[in-house]
Structure 1
Amino acid sequence: MDAPLALTLGEPAGIGPEIALMAWRDRAARHIPAFCAVGDPELLERRARLLGLDIPITACAAHEAAGIFAHALPVHPVGPRATAAPGAPDETSAPAVIESLDRAVDLVQAGAARALVTAPLAKSVVYAAGFPFPGHTEYLAARCTPPGGTAPRPVMMIWSPELAVVPATIHVPLAAVPALLTVDLLMETARIVDRDMRARFGLERPRLAFAGLNPHAGEDGTLGREDEEVVRPAVEALRREGIDARGPLPADTMFHAEARAGYDVAIGMYHDQVLIPAKALAFHEGVNTTLGLPFVRTSPDHGTAFGIAGTGRADPSSLMAALRLAARLAAGDHGRARIQAAG
């Protein structure tokens, strides 16, 4: 029997616990692969009672989860109790959040789980407890660094059946973006995308489309020189390496249906340039997946949603999509099942 997916519960005061419960509840109708929650079983029991969900929860070792999943939600119990109430983040629960993440990664690296799916965490809460990383991505890169070795460079991709996008720069002020863009950055990003789209998604020749930084991709340099001096040279160098890259393309005409049919991944220069169309097209089905790691990691493409936590109004669709995609990508490590990324 296949190893389960390892699912962290994320911030206890957010919607992570309840969408995990909903995903198990709807497992048959929504074709949810077997997963094992990693964390505090009592947190899930309390949230189930609050929401009136009749869901059996069984504490177990991860290797037992696949056999339990059909009749109960398996939980690999770790760490201290997660005590925060829904909608009321409490820094005393930070150790539970961090322990859930640590142990889930351990399970994946040991082969007891076949992929990692992470529920949203509240950065302010874990920062207060001394968590030294800006977020999941940087933490995972550190966990995958061999002693004395070089950390892998993780790349964030937002994937849905309608569109897959990668921002070359992520959580930085817009004013800082031009100085951060270099030929090397764009080429390294594209190489990782190309490699993982082949190895994980089974695309024989991924088509990468680069958005220009400036309006109309710079209008031949009249609206800014970055597209001619950074983006175009990167694209040309990638093509010489055999990577199917094109651009810079005007971002305002890249995301309608006909344009999307011409590429598999859009690489943007900054966060909102590509995440706005991705979320507009598939807000509830988008998945955040981290490329460049030695294992599969996916996550819902939303935050903790404190405002609706504990109300039963949370939509589990993005978590369900993250679970399904993680299982498909993990299977692709062996069977290379083809998954069309966009279009």
Structure 2
Amino acid sequence: MKVKAAVAEELGSPLEIRELALDEPRANEVQVRMTATGVCHTDAVVRDGWIPTTLPLVLGHEGAGVVERVGAAVTHLQPGDHVVLSVNSCGACRSCLAGHPAYCEDSYAHNFAGGRIDGSSAFSADDGSVVRSHFFGQSSFAEVVNASVRSVVKIPDDFPLELAGPLGCGIQTGAGAVLNVLRPAPGGSFVVFGAGAVGMSALLAAVAGRVGTIVAVDVNDGRLALARELGATHTINGSSEDAVARILEITGGGVQTALDTTGNAAVFRQMVAALGVAGHAAALGAASAGSEGVIDLPTALSRGIRITWVVEGDAVPQLFIPELIALHRAGQFPYDRLVKTYPFDDIATAFADSESGEVLKPVVVF
């Protein structure tokens, strides 16, 4: 089958739209015709070499579409099902069996290596050369993909696929960090550093959880204005205010739960300093090699704080994504406010708007 796909050819270069050949789905794969795919910061950092992989590679890991075929070993999905594509995992290691597939012990091979576990790829060029596939088990910047079954999440047929894709990574990550990991108490306090798509999703989850004091910290006044519209009780511009001092003032001595989405070492230190006694902080932003978030260990010990690093919201996508859809339908998780759609052929603009901060969650539509 011939499909159009966006290919990362060289580190740091814009994706190139090419026609590729797609092979037959394997026994444990699901062939999905894509309707839409979110553009995530992780796509950009892999394209730019922050996380090593093999090029050329079809990126994309927030896919949504309709099942066309299922492999011989797939029994719970069928052609016509509407699905979201999310993070891949082995399903057999201790972490997967314990209900934490985001921490799969073989996560790199299943998500970043660029191919199936046996080393094969689903894509090839006209000259027969290999173009790597199965980024996050899916490589969803393509019209049709053969996705690993563990990446596939069935959703209601009447939920808009243009909105569904971002649930596969960015929205799930922010919301899961709050609902699955930090779990701030109703009426409690929470601060999010970074009001991008992931940070806003965390904020929305805190609002849905009836958290009493919700603080958003960013350097973009437009994003802070949106954060207030979405339910933040307080906002802080970190470029013009002392964020730690303001948080201590707002919370009366320190915040109970906090999340850093930026991957910035200086911001990480601010988050830790803003915690109250026995506070719980989480970090999830991708940081460049060599970044160090140094903290005052004696002070941290005396305060009894906890710090957790979070991947994919520590979610089981097949369970958590339907929960987020239910919250959205109930009017309690309006993440559609973050989304802007682009034609697939305009994927370069979607990436540029994401990187400039002009758009929180770009989604390319096929």
Normalised TM-score (structure 2) = 0.29
Structure having the larger proportion of residues in helix: 1
Normalised TM-score (structure 1) = 0.31
Task: Report 1 or 2 for greater relative contact order, CA contacts < 8 Å, sequence distance ≥ 6.
Answer: 1
